A and B are shown apart, each in its own frame.
Chain A
Amino acid sequence: MKKLFVVPLALSAALAIADHKDGQPAEPQVLKGEVVALTLYLTEEMHGAEGATEALAALRGGSPAGLLAADGTVTLILVTSQEGGEALKYVAHNVEITGTIHEHGGMRAIVPKSVVDLGAVETKPVGGHEHK
């Protein structure tokens, strides 16, 4: 009788290990940064409080969203019809996103599971490009 439980358990463990080796992290990760409209950020480096209105319009118009970290790296925010849409509400805000990270072909993305608003991004100093 015990074997009936042991075999499926061993199989599940083996499958979980194999899945982890495929590069699909099982544990959600946390990323912090500013939500930006990638259309504007990639083409014009527009972000922050000054570009908030345009960024919101761009996102509503279908622009992909990204998370701009303090070190300048950008992670694509993967929004599907089922999940992730909450992050878009916080454009030009600093947020903490908990989600699953996927990396393929040089592109890094996060599928948000939860988003915590850390407040609106402060106005950039004149001539500055600080990522706050």
Chain B
Amino acid sequence: MKLRCVLCVGLAAMLAGLALMARAEDKKEEVTIKGEVVDMACWLEEGKMGPDHAKCAKGCVSGGTPAGIVTEDGSVYLVVVHGKDGKSPLSHVAEMVEVKGHVVERGGIKGIVATSCTKVEAKGEGSEGSHK
């Protein structure tokens, strides 16, 4: 009888451990990406980005155009979910940013769920900053 109890407890513990392992695997690691926040319409249609295009990009994103983050290697992450605490990539359109978050990819679309976003200096940019 005792042996059965021990086996049952052992089995339950093993199942609980497996469940915990599965949950741990579900948690995606946080990544950090650096790039410019662009409005997807102008960037995809005409490749427009950078300080010369800042005013248009801000207008587009505030008008509902999706935003993306274009990294130095040319890949793009759709801004999927944004916080409302001022840390959102949407508060930094046409600026170089460092975004921490979770990458989500489905059906060929790659996005980032940002947990934090800070402005960084662009290459060759002075301390005054020109991405405004």
- Chain A residues packing against B (C-beta within 8 Å): 38-39, 41-43, 45, 62-64, 66, 68-69, 72-76, 78-81, 85, 100, 102-109, 111
CB proximity of A113 to chain B, nearest CB, Å: 13
CA distance A78 to B107 in the complex (A): 16
Majority secondary structure, B binding face: mixed
Measured in the bound complex, the distance between the Cα atoms of B113 and A75 in whole Å is 18
Known contacts A64-B66, A79-B64, A105-B70; is A74 also within 8 Å of B109 by CB? yes
What band does the interface of chain B fall in when counting residues whose beta carbon is under 8 Å from A? 20 to 34
Nearest A-chain residue to B108, judged by Cβ:
A73
Tell which of A69, A79, A100 touches B65, judged by Cβ atoms closer than 8 Å: A79
Q: In whole angstroms, what is the CA distance A78 to B44 when docked? A: 9
3 closest residue pairs by CB, A with B: A74-B107, A81-B63, A64-B66
Please determine whether A111 and B41 come into contact, CB atoms closer than 8 angstroms: yes
User: Does B20 interact with chain A (Cβ within 8 Å)?
Assistant: no
Report B29-41 CB contacts with A as 1/0, cut-off 8 Å: 0000000000011
B106 at the interface (CB under 8 A from A): yes
Residues of B within 8 A of A73 (CB): 107-108
* A/B interface sample: 22 pairs, CB < 8 A: A38-B109, A39-B80, A42-B105, A43-B104, A43-B113, A64-B40, A64-B78, A72-B107, A73-B107, A74-B106, A74-B107, A76-B78, A78-B45, A79-B64, A79-B65, A81-B63, A100-B45, A105-B70, A105-B76, A106-B75, A107-B109, A109-B40
